[in-house]
Amino acid sequence: MNIDKRLVRKDSLEKLFDILKQNSKTIYAPFSKNSKVSFREADSFSGITTDYIQTTQSSKEVAFPRNEKILNYSKDKEGMKVKGIDLNDIPEVVLWGVRPCDTMGIGELSAIFNWDYKDEIYNNRLSRVTVFGFSCSKSDDYCFCTSVGGNPGNTQGSDILFTQLGENGDYLAEILTDKGSSIVSISSALFEKTENIEKEKFLAEVPARFEREEIRGKLEKFFDSQLWVEQSLKCIGCGACAYVCPTCACFDIQDEAHGKSGSRVRCWDSCGFSTFTLHTSGHNPREVQSQRWRQRIMHKFLIMPDRLSVYGCTGCGRCSRACPVDMNILEHLISIQEVSL
């Protein structure tokens, strides 16, 4: 299929933003706070930052918020009344400025939320998200998308992928889905017809560093390796890696009671926490950090491909950037590949 390619002038992005607003879209875009770039709701175009290799947090919150009410309840003489969440309240969202490693992550996250049980809230949220991917012209030491099936101009997961044609240049817009086309239809003057533009020369160069199939093969025989102990010795067991990850989907269910009524809330959780697998009996099948670290790597590079046919890592490098003790996932994956069995 030929992709519909258009040219969007640099100055047209603000106009596009305004048109989306006029069409009642909620826009999430990257903003800088305390020198960290994160997605948040954008009221106006000014202030949206473009100067980032990768945002500190992934964009997964738009479909999988850190805290989400999944039902409300109240108790009275007649008993308990449970009320589900009104899915009509979910807004139409445009996710603006997402890097290709995050757009790819949406597919991996969706695989988890539709593995067996189809998560209604997640799927409803995602169905109302239009993804504006922005290709990468820069990368850093932490990036490794090309080792895990991605690339700096990957269209996977985007509804429209924008690629800036040189510093301060105009944008090539690749219209990839019906959602993308519907955006073009409300702002067609901004999406100019264009001759075939090649985006490749404007993309960052990210060399491939390992073969993920090879790692998967190693992991099958690797459960009892001492390597997990060595790698995880400096891990302090926080959840920073999981919370910034575009594909980590673990959650905890909490009831928040206020007298006779309350709500049930789904909250992010992390397999790195010591209490994550703690049983009521007091037994903990993952007693030490090495077992938790092993779970993290195994889940992404063995369990997910086995069960869901997708890997759980997009090479965004966020976990390594966010790690307070410099646990570098790329380095650890390379050392797994290098081990001779």
Instruction: Give one DSSP letter per residue of 99-161, joined into a string.
Output: -HHHHHHHHHHHHHHTSSS--HHHHHHHHTEEEEEE--S---TT--GGGTT--TT--TT-SEE
Nearer residue to another protein within complex by CB, 208 or 253: 253
Instruction: Give one DSSP letter per residue of 196-219, joined into a string.
Output: ----GGGSPP------HHHHHHHH
User: Is residue 233 part of the contact set for another protein (CB under 8 A)?
Assistant: yes
Taking CB under 8 A as the criterion, the residue among 140, 214, 220, 306 binding another protein is 140
Phi and psi at residue 197, in whole multiples of 5°? -105, 135
Nearer residue to another protein within complex by CB, 127 or 274: 274
Nearer residue to another protein within complex by CB, 184 or 265: 265
Choose the stretch contacting another protein; rule: CB under 8 A; options: 47-55, 127-135, 193-201, 226-234: 226-234
Look at the alpha carbons of 9, 126, 115, 278 in this order and tell me if their dihedral is positive or negative. Answer: positive
Nearer residue to another protein within complex by CB, 7 or 229: 229
Taking CB under 8 A as the criterion, the residue among 35, 46, 88, 309 binding another protein is 35
User: Is residue 41 part of the contact set for another protein (CB under 8 A)?
Assistant: no
CB atoms within 10 A of CB 85: 17
List C-alpha distances in Å: 1 to 4, 177, 192: 9, 12, 20
Q: Which two tokens stand for residue 3?
A: 């992709």
The site that binds another protein (CB under 8 A) totals a number of residues, namely 43
Taking CB under 8 A as the criterion, the residue among 18, 41, 141, 213 binding another protein is 141
Nearer residue to another protein within complex by CB, 192 or 230: 230
Residues that bind another protein (CB under 8 A): 33-36, 38, 56-57, 66-67, 140-142, 229, 232-234, 236-240, 242-244, 252, 254, 256, 265, 267-268, 270, 273, 275, 288-290, 320, 322, 324-326, 328, 331
